[in-house]
Amino acid sequence: MMLPAIGLVVGIIIALLTPLRFPIEYSQYIAIGILAALDCVFGGIRAGLQGTFDKTVFISGFLVNTALATVLTMVGDKLGVDLVLGATVAFSIRIFTNVGIIRRYILDKWFRKTLK
């Protein structure tokens, strides 16, 4: 379970070492990208814990979800409708659901271990 945390730290360090900063007008897209990545990470962990992880589904899910969210944001921008809210809500719900499942899984495991 340590690997994702290490990966996160590595990513943060890489970004800190480079003078990376996104253009302000893209900040909305980056935000939705972060949500998509978060959703992907928790979804991946959940799948992994449940033993249903498939790398093809995982990678394609990450790419397609990010692309869809970006396109939605872009179209919403053009139409003057905050479609980005839809993507945000969808990702947030999935994240909560996945975290809930992970939590239950871990608790289950832990309690079983301690009850034994």
Partner 1 sequence: MKRARAFELYVAGVCVILGILLVGQVRTQEYIGKSQIPSRRLEDLSDMLRRSDAERLILEKEVEVLREQVSKVVEGEKAAETVRVELARTRMVAGLAAVEGPGVIVTLNDSKRQAGPGESPELFLVHDNDILQVVNELFAAGAEAVSVNGQRMVATSEIRCSGPVISVNNVRIGPPYEIHAIGNIDALDSALHMRDGILDTLRAWGIEAKVQKSAAVHVPGYKGGLYFQYAKPALEGAQK
Burial of 76 (0-12, 13-18, 19+ CB in 10 A): middle
Only segment of 52-60, 68-76, 93-101, 107-115 that touches partner 1 (CB under 8 A): 52-60
Residue 12 within binding range of partner 1, rule CB under 8 A = yes
| 72 contributes a contact to partner 1 by CB under 8 A | no
Q: Is 24 in the site for partner 1 (CB under 8 A)?
A: yes
Told to check if 51 binds partner 1 by CB under 8 A, we report yes
Pair 43, 94: CB distance under 8 Å:
yes
- Provide long-range contacts, Cβ within 8 A and 24+ apart, for 102-107: 102/42, 102/45, 102/46, 102/49, 105/46, 105/49, 105/50, 106/49
| 112 lines the binding site for partner 1 (CB under 8 A) | no
Please report, as ranges, the residues that interact with partner 1 according to CB under 8 A. Answer: 1-16, 20-25, 27-28, 30-31, 33-34, 37-38, 40-41, 44-45, 47-48, 51, 53, 55, 58-59, 62
